[in-house]
């Protein structure tokens, strides 16, 4: 079975600074997808960024980028120029390419942004 | 329309009540999901519907009964719940059951069982 681990229950960052959230996973599959989801307080969970395991290039979406290390099974999220609106729970998630619909979530990291 | 809607936003029910949660999407998605989320925890998958057929039931107690009347609607019928069932219930949808298909989440129904 796949597992996803987020070792930082809470992180804080100063506005305009950069922060990195960690995620490691364990799988025996060779082809899969990795996601970072953001869940602001009392608001909808939204997809921040996704990475396909067969792509070596790290995904980037504006201020959000990932550092995907397949051999190390590591998938960290870097948020640059942090904004107050980035404050949220962030969940790392795994989904096997051929193992159906199931997302396996990590335990989450609560990010606080200080003005 | 890239939205998943859920009603009601909040629900308080007694252990003997029967109630239903409703989820709707108009993105033409053929896979729909129910998740349960406790405070400060990740979502836990409960059920998956694929092309209106139940494809995954994660050993959920029978007091939770899902229903998919059509490709746009997903219901979760609740009966004889326990206080520990109090949680945020999230609905999600995706284009189909493929691995890279993004799941779009609704805002959730916050359920309190007294």
The pLDDT tens digits of the residues spanning A45-96 come to 999 999 999 988 999 999 999 999 999 999 999 999 999 999 999 999 999 8
* Residue A22 predicted with pLDDT over 90: yes
Judging contacts by C-beta atoms under 8 Å, the chain A residues touching residue B40 are: 89, 108, 110
Residue B64 and residue B46 in contact, taking contact as beta carbons nearer than 8 Å: yes
In A2-72 the beta strands, taken as DSSP E runs, fall at 3-5, 10-14, 19-21, 24-26, 32-39, 46-52, 60-61, 64-69
When comparing pLDDT for B55 and A114, which is higher? A114
Cβ atoms < 10 Å from Cβ of B70: 8
Contact B43 A45 (CB under 8 A): yes
Q: Using the structure block, give the residue that is written with the tokens 């190390």.
A: A72
Pairing of strands B64-70, A24-26: unpaired
**Closest by Cβ to B42, choosing from A43, A96, A107:** A107
Task: Return the percentage of chain A with pLDDT > 70, whole number.
Answer: 97
Q: Does A50 touch chain B (CB under 8 A)?
A: yes
Q: Is A1 on the interface with B (CB under 8 A)?
A: no
Task: Give the pLDDT score at B99.
Answer: 63
Counting as low any pLDDT under 50, the low residues of chain B are: none
Query: What mean pLDDT comes out for the span A27-33?
Result: 90
- Contacts A33 to B, Cβ<8 Å: 99-100
Q: Is A101 within 8 Å of B90 when comparing Cβ atoms?
A: no
DSSP state for residue A43 in the 8-state scheme: S
- As a dihedral over the C-alpha atoms of residue B55, residue B60, residue B63, residue B65, rounded to 10 degrees, the angle is -10
- List beta partners, residue B68: none
Q: What is the pLDDT of residue A66?
A: 97
Q: Is the pLDDT of residue A98 over 90?
A: no
Instruction: Say yes or no: A44 contacts chain B, CB-CB below 8 A.
Output: yes
A75 alpha carbon, distance to own chain's centre? 7
State whether B102 and A95 contact (CB < 8 Å). no
Q: Verify whether the Cβ–Cβ distance A33 to B94 is below 8 Å.
A: no
Residue A21 to residue A10: CA distance in whole angstroms:
9
Chain A hits for B104, Cβ within 8 Å: 47
Are A51 and A32 spatial neighbours (Cβ–Cβ below 8 Å)? no
Q: Which residues of B touch A99 (CB under 8 A)?
A: 99
Region A24-53: mean pLDDT is 93
pLDDT per residue over A12-21, tens digit each? 999 999 999 9
């Amino acid at each position: 079975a796949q597992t996803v681990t987020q070792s930082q229950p809470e992180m804080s960052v100063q506005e305009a600074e950069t922060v990195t959230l960690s995620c490691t996973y364990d799988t025996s599959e060779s082809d899969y997808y990795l996601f970072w989801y953001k869940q602001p307080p009392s608001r909808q969970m939204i997809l921040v960024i996704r990475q396909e395991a067969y792509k070596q290039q790290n995904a980037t979406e504006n201020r959000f980028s990932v550092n995907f290390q397949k051999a190390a099974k590591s998938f960290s999220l870097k948020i640059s120029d942090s904004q107050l609106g980035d404050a949220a729970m962030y969940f790392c998630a795994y989904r096997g390419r051929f193992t159906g619909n199931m997302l396996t979530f990590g335990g989450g990291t609560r990010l606080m942004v200080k003005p | 329309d890239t939205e998943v809607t859920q009603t009601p936003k909040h629900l308080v029910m007694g252990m003997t009540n029967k109630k239903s949660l409703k989820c709707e999407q108009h993105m033409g998605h053929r896979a729909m999901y129910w998740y349960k989320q406790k405070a400060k925890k990740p979502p836990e998958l409960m059920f998956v519907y694929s092309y209106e057929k139940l494809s995954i039931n994660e050993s959920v107690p029978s007091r939770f009964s899902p229903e998919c009347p059509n490709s746009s609607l997903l219901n979760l019928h609740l009966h004889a719940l326990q206080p520990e069932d109090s949680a945020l219930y999230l609905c999600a949808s995706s284009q189909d059951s493929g691995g890279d298909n993004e799941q779009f989440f609704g805002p959730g129904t916050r359920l309190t069982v007294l």
